[in-house]
Structure 1
Amino acid sequence: MALGLFRVCLVVVTAVINHPLLFPRENTTVPENEEEIIRKMQEHQEKLQLEQLRLEEEMAQLVAEKEALERVAEESQQQNNTRTAWDLWSTLCMILFLMIEVWRQDHQDTPSPECLAGDEDELPGQEGTPLRGLTLPNKNTLGHFYEHCIRGATADAARTREFVEGFVDDLLEALRSRCNRDTDMEVEDFIGVDSMYENWQVDKPLLCHLLVPFTPPEPYLFHPNLWCSHQSAPLDRQGYGQIKVVRTDEDALGCVCGKTKLGEDMLCLLHSKSNGLRPGSEAGELLCAPNSPYLDALQVMKWFQTALTRAWHRIAHKYDFDLAFGQLDTPGSLKIKFRSGKSMPFNLIPAIQCEYSDLYFVSHLAREMAGDVPVSSTDWLLSFAVYERQFLRMTSKALPEGSCHLSCLQIASFLLSKQRRLTGPSALSSFHLKTALLHLLLARRPADWKAQQLDARLHELLCFLEKSLLEKKLLHFFMGNRKVPAALGLPETVRLAEPLNLFWPFVLQRSLYRKTMDSFYEMLRNAPALISEYSLHISADPATPPPKAGVL
């Protein structure tokens, strides 16, 4: 134990002696590289300061980026909210526009409220147009002009119709007598249509339009294809159709041969390989287009003109006048030439009845009715002339006695006829005037067509026509018009079809539209002076005929 204590004491003494603070060594010296160490420490300090600055800058940049991201997020949120609100507003506007369009289609296909308002002087029109400031003569002048200039000039219309109908009866009977019922087309009785049979004929000479339906010989029949049965019909083909020539036994649903396979040596009593309509053989004899089962208008024109010529030669000895064709492009345009030098024109229009209705396909009325000629000779125009006559007759029964609806149409047609002779024809025709009148008849009350309201209704008719021209939209009265009375018997396929715009060519043909508008406004400017001039001339000298057409 004594040895252990001795060792501890020895260690303590040795540590005390070797401590540098208590007993410093005399040979201790400062290292020679002290300055270099100080310099390195300063450099290290500077590096630390630079690193601190860089870290501070990076921290500031991170803070700025974070703030920018927060701002972008806020702006994006605001834009999303704005876009959502805008989308909602756009959707509401679109729904509103659709509702307005549906309402307009249902209610605005008739004359606008401006035209049907109580104030007849406030009519829609573009600023500065003649119609807005148009002042027609007073009721007395207008009535006097109509009675003496229009009604007096067409007083012999009944006698003209009677004479033409008697002659046409004889002519068609001669045509039937020369036809072979087994191989030739069968001609039916004529149907009087248009202005002469609707009592609003104005132009001289008086012109009768007569539809002459014809049917093919047995066992064939005509199968019309309406444009409204095809939803993809182009605009220029709407209102037209094709007529397919088929056999009556082609669609025998109860025949067994169409459902079972017969042996090679077994034949059906109703069908055989020779019964089919072969292009180029029987089709040519049935007036079809080459290599086609569809009826060709050019073939019909040649056949009809040839048949009329033969029929006239058969009965020519009975009459003391000559018969000649009027227009070469119209198959039934005929003219009676008397020995005195006078002539009496009339039109026989070959037509095909459409499915036991009063619709008829005609081949040569396209230029007058639609302002365009069919591109294909197999396209036939659908004529509503019989329905137009029936509608006017039905409406007249509900109108007051001596109503002015036909007087309005006659005066407007008279003005259009004079303008045509002055500046040449335009795309506006008497068919458009009659269509506008039919729309007004459907929209107006019967009491609004009294004879005393002739000036107001004439003003309204011109207003409606101007509005249609400005909008380039005049809907066909029957096609797609669900307001047509059901008692008229119009086929549902046509009544529920898409409406047909008669002014659609104006959308594409700007020069035609401009010419038509210029002619229309010039007609309006000349109307007051023309009516007054004719009225004064008649009042001054009743025995003197009116001035020649075209002299304004």
Structure 2
Amino acid sequence: MQGAIARVCVVVVAAILNHPLLFPQENTTLPDQDKELMARMREHEEKLEMEQAKLEKELSQLESKQEESSSEDGYSWYFWSTLSFVIFFTIELYRVDLTDTEIKPVEDEDVFSESGSVTPRTMVLDKDVLSNFCDKCMYTSSHENWRVREFVEGFADDLLESLRSVCDRDADMEVGDFVGIGSMFESWKVCKPLMCDLIVPFSPPDPYSFQFHLWCSPSSDVPPGLQGCGKIKVTKFGENEKGCLCGSANMGDDMLCLLHSRNDTPKVDHSPDELLCSRNTPFLAKDQVMKWFQISVTKAWGRISHKYDFEVTFRNLDAAGALTIRFRSGKVIMLNIIPVVQLEDTDAYFVSHFPSDCDSPPDPYWPLSFAVYEKNLLKHFAKRLPQNSCHLHCLQIVTFLHRKQTGLTGKSALTNYHLKTALLHLLLSKKPSVWGVESMEHRLRDLLSFLQRSLQEKRLHHVLIGNSKVPGDVQVPLIIRKAEPINLLRPLVLQRELHAATVRHFTKC
């Protein structure tokens, strides 16, 4: 009995000492480069193998000297063998669990928090991956983007010149020169297909003009939910005045009116529809403007299409100038030509629609765009930040991730404009010296943390409206600088489901 127990114990000890759990053949949890440690492990393993051989030899000698065991001893042997099998099986199961938990490589799921989301602190940022991304997706695309901008500007010039030729100078709206805005003209576009946004200001024919009623004006009647918008009233010159004396009195041939020439002919009055106003109102209507502009662009393209070897189609009938240019090679360029109204002599423009917006304010309310000032603000920072600064790289990475996640789970309330606004807030709050290319990992974490906090608080203020931190040389209009800040995430306050969906979208990016 005692001999059988001794034999079993020897076998169990030898098996445990030689088991892969304690001394694995390949130590995958240790770095391969630690040669000294691996050598010591192999030496220790060889000693254990020698010890096991010695124990097996002694066991065989004991068996040769031992007489045939009794039946009780036989049953004991079966009992201890079974027990040994159970011990080995338990150790094997534990070894599998331990291997799965300790040796499994780090994947996306490993950096999720208990709530199933990635936080900026827990997210793994690999500097090599970030650098490789910048090299492949940013630096290599800068030359192509420059060529696309050059082509788009030349094509837009030709198209608008053709548009002016099909318009009636005395009756139709007068179209000005385009202005490039957005990511393509701010040098942070990274996703394809390439898309260029151009705004085209227009003005009414003589003797009409525009009057503006901003949401931040003292006598504003713009609803609270439409902050950042305004109404555009079409007025006729002199209709609010009593009139000029030259038309009601005989002043003689020697008297000359400084306002009117003798050769002036009466201007033909236009109906509200001809002036693109809302029905029975003097206010400019976005729907009317977009219909007029779309018809005009179609006629203009028809006049010059024979000069070009590519196809131009309307991408979205609800957007006036959403065009798709398709070359024979298969290359595609998206072009948004957006009709706008300039706010007096500023660089702020009332836009008929934003390309990224699903819902536009109802007529007669026009959203006000400060895209030109935002472009100037980025230029302001570019002059003061370190050479090869990482601010645009951070924005490109975040917008790239946002676009990929949108392709997986669909659109959310978060747009590229929110991402750019968050970056501009960080640029205004941090010293220029911390935006070096070597600090890209830290600034990317800052940007993600700022966005996460904004979504949690459901608050992200417009970077230019009511912000005293904006430098004076950007020349934001005084009435805009003194206005109350506008929360760009206000829809999330009113819609809980939209907020929850947007948070889920962000945490999965």
Does the pair score TM above 0.5? yes
Q: What residue number does 1:303 align with?
A: 292
Q: How many angstroms apart in 1 are the aligned matches of 2:120 and 2:366?
A: 40
SS in 2 for 1:398: coil
Superposed displacement of residue 337, structure 1 = 2.2
Q: 1:310 to 1:277 in 2, by over 3 A?
A: closer
Superposed displacement of residue 351, structure 1 = 0.7
Which deviates more, 224-233 or 317-326? 224-233
Superposed displacement of residue 180, structure 1 = 1.9
1:424 aligns with 2:413: no
1:167 aligns with 2:155: yes
Q: What residue number does 1:387 align with?
A: 373
Q: What residue number does 1:56 align with?
A: none
Superposed displacement of residue 150, structure 1 = 3.4
Greater relative CO, 1 or 2 (CA 8 Å, sep 6+): 1
SS in 2 for 1:285: coil
Superposed displacement of residue 148, structure 1 = 1.4
Q: How many angstroms apart in 2 are the aligned matches of 1:448 and 1:126?
A: 32
Q: Contact conserved, 2:120 with 2:448, CA < 8 A, in 1?
A: no
Superposed displacement of residue 154, structure 1 = 4.8
Q: Contact conserved, 1:136 with 1:455, CA < 8 A, in 2?
A: no
Q: What residue number does 1:176 align with?
A: 164
Q: What residue number does 1:321 align with?
A: 310
Q: What residue number does 1:377 align with?
A: 363
Supply the AA of the counterpart residue of 2:226. R
Supply the AA of the counterpart residue of 2:394. C
Alpha-carbon displacement from aligned partner over 1:129-169 (angstroms, at most 9, x marks no partner): 52154233232331122111333245400000111111111
Alpha-carbon displacement from aligned partner over 1:352-377 (angstroms, at most 9, x marks no partner): 10010000000111x736x6421x22
Map 1:99-498 to 2 at 5 A: 130-131=118-119, 133-229=121-217, 230=219, 233-252=222-241, 282-365=271-354, 368=356, 372-374=359-361, 376-498=362-484
Q: 1:412 to 1:516 in 2, by over 3 A?
A: same
1:512 aligns with 2:501: no
Q: How many angstroms apart in 2 are the aligned matches of 1:446 and 1:495?
A: 23
Q: What residue number does 2:110 align with?
A: none
Q: Contact conserved, 1:297 with 1:378, CA < 8 A, in 2?
A: yes
SS in 2 for 1:386: helix
Q: Contact conserved, 1:400 with 1:446, CA < 8 A, in 2?
A: yes
TM-score by length of 2: 0.71
Superposed displacement of residue 249, structure 1 = 2.2
SS in 2 for 1:334: strand
Alpha-carbon displacement from aligned partner over 1:191-216 (angstroms, at most 9, x marks no partner): 00000000000220111100111111
Superposed displacement of residue 247, structure 1 = 1.5
Superposed displacement of residue 342, structure 1 = 3.0
Superposed displacement of residue 324, structure 1 = 1.1
Superposed displacement of residue 378, structure 1 = 1.4
SS in 1 for 2:499: helix
Q: How many angstroms apart in 2 are the aligned matches of 1:203 and 1:313?
A: 31
Superposed displacement of residue 317, structure 1 = 1.4
Q: Contact conserved, 1:247 with 1:276, CA < 8 A, in 2?
A: no
Q: How many angstroms apart in 2 are the aligned matches of 1:340 and 1:143?
A: 31
Q: 1:174 to 1:447 in 2, by over 3 A?
A: same
Superposed displacement of residue 488, structure 1 = 1.2
Q: Contact conserved, 1:277 with 1:283, CA < 8 A, in 2?
A: no
Indicate the RMSD between aligned Cα atoms, in angstroms. 2.6
Give unpaired runs (5+ residues) of structure 1. Answer: 1-124, 264-268, 524-552
Q: How many angstroms apart in 1 are the aligned matches of 2:359 and 2:487?
A: 14
Q: What residue number does 1:43 align with?
A: none
Q: How many angstroms apart in 2 are the aligned matches of 1:447 and 1:460?
A: 15
Q: Which has the larger radius of gyration?
A: 1
Supply the AA of the counterpart residue of 1:250. E
Give unpaired runs (5+ residues) of structure 2. Answer: 1-112, 250-256, 261-265
**Number of equivalences:** 384
Q: Contact conserved, 1:277 with 1:293, CA < 8 A, in 2?
A: no
Q: 1:324 to 1:252 in 2, by over 3 A?
A: same
Q: 1:231 to 1:498 in 2, by over 3 A?
A: farther
Supply the AA of the counterpart residue of 1:234. P
Q: 1:231 to 1:466 in 2, by over 3 A?
A: farther
Supply the AA of the counterpart residue of 2:311. D
- Runs of 4+ in structure 1 over 6 Å off: 125-128, 275-278
TM-score by length of 1: 0.66
Q: How many angstroms apart in 1 are the aligned matches of 2:460 and 2:405?
A: 21
Q: 1:277 to 1:178 in 2, by over 3 A?
A: closer
Q: How many angstroms apart in 2 are the aligned matches of 1:406 and 1:389?
A: 12
